[in-house]
Structure 1
């Protein structure tokens, strides 16, 4: 339908598939390296249809998954990649109905996954200090929700509150909320911990996304020096390596081998657990 998001996938012999994301409109065209395809030829087709471009290339048309959308949507800052987001969600053990705080809305990738995880009865508070990032995150979230509702019976929950504010100045906001989990994606997360930890439930998890290990060391040093009630349970990085399976003309129909390309280091993920200090 017009207004929906469509993903066109072109298979290439020796490279990863080329994926193109578009929002369908009757008068628009999808441009690819091998020709164009009018949107009117896509509208009305069922997902999974293969169509040809003006240059004869075959495109597989379908709806994008959420991880594909966040990789292809407009972005300002670098997003948290889906491989890392899935690990962060497991760290925090989020359930439907939870209230989660996010600092660093960025382009809205984490916000979308949190929105799905907490469900219609849950709530996500997403703080961002930069106006351009704040606006882009809201726009990407709104575009996904509107496209989802055109192609699905159930509505995507409207459960993310985007807040343009420095989290280090939000102590008054935190007094009125109880948090089940916290995720920090910012340059200096140690500045946010004194503000958010009183609102985090006892035993709750604060997951921190940091680009380099020296930032992790600075974070842990601040927790120690300020005697904040957090225990560091894990520090991990997530890597994905694909495998290729190619057809052959000999007695063995397929040859499988590790791909030369992999999704390597993108961040260090730190799991902090709030504990109750022993009484002296």
Structure 2
């Protein structure tokens, strides 16, 4: 085993604002304990304090000063694995106001909305701060994440969670974060600068499309996070009808674990299925429009029951006479 270089820094530089630490566990850090049944416990290390469970107690002092990745035995013989919590572990166990964006979706947003160091990102709303943590880590201390949240109680929860994850000193927060109470449509014009990415985690993202178009730089990306198919349809059609964005790309991701023991290799019994749909589109340059789609919509796609936005080149169904010839082959 190679030894650690003697010139390696003992910890990640504080100015990186990574939310990650190296080296021995310190008082004030959060740790994650996992027992042999997979039950998880997150808490802050405090000198002289004890952690209690149905398997007895553990002294915080027995963890402080040790390198993470060890097993500790409680007073009643329970075994606990001790690590610092990863970002994906922190966000699913942190206190919540609003529902959180799950790690599988946050990863898709960071990758497919191309969030990069130094980017100027706007999100609405902040929720409980789960996605905010991923965005801040991606843009780094030299980027900017502006979060709009309508509800003060949600903003308070998000602020506490973000500050906890990044170990912000008392009275401070991540230098790249600007948390604002208010509506995105009203707040975007007041930023005084163009933005590179806009993430919409809200009930009615279609109502913000005009404001987002005005704020995004050419080539910028809008990403909507919606829960239902009706929301998905409305936001896709609104982006399409606007004319200043590329063809919207909708998708969802599913995560399934696997059971692997010798020859017993099969899908696991638990799966993280539908959490939300994601939609991305890129901003065209001023005065430019994307090429028109050459593939015609499916018959009835914009029929009399459809009441949403309608592309200009798609006629209303009432003006199209269906072919009712019974002699026509069904697969024609």
TM, length-normalised to structure 1: 0.87
**Contact 2:206 2:238 survives alignment (8 Å):** yes
Matched residue SS, 2:111: helix
Computed over aligned residues only, the root mean square deviation of the Cα atoms, in angstroms, reads 1.9
Among residues 32, 35, 57, which one is paired with 1:10 in the alignment? 35
Q: Which has the higher strand share?
A: 1
Name the residue aligned to 2:232. 216
Distance 1:221 1:125 in 2: 26
How far did 1:171 drift?
Answer: 4.3
Structure having greater relative contact order (Cα 8 Å, sep ≥ 6): 1
Kept after mapping to 2: 8 A contact 1:91/1:205? no
- SS in structure 2 opposite 1:261? strand
Q: In the alignment, which residue of structure 1 is the partner of 2:253?
A: 238
Alpha-carbon distance in structure 2 between the residues aligned to 1:232 and 1:187? 21
Residue 198 of structure 1 aligns with which residue?
A: 214
Shift of 1:39: 1.5
The structure with the largest helix share of the pair is 1
In structure 2, relative to structure 1, the CA distance for the partners of 1:158 and 1:254 (3 Å cut) is farther
- Residue of structure 1 in register with 2:203 after alignment: 187
Aligned to 1:231, what secondary structure does the other structure show? coil
1:231·1:274 contact (CA, 8 Å) conserved in 2? Answer: yes
Deviation, structure 1 residue 75: 0.8
Partner of 2:152: 131
Cα distance, 1:166 vs. partner?
1.1
Measured after TM superposition, the shift of residue 114 of structure 1 is 0.5
- 1:223 to partner: Cα distance: 3.3
Structure showing greater Rg: 2
Structure 2 gaps of 5+ residues are: 1-25, 290-332
- Structure 2 distance, partners of 1:223, 1:235, is 11
Aligned to 1:30: 51
Contact 2:97 2:157 in 1 (8 A): yes
Return the alpha-carbon distance in structure 2 between the equivalents of residues 214 and 168 of structure 1: 22
Q: Quote the residue 2:163 is aligned against.
A: 142
> 1:216 deviation in Å?
1.2
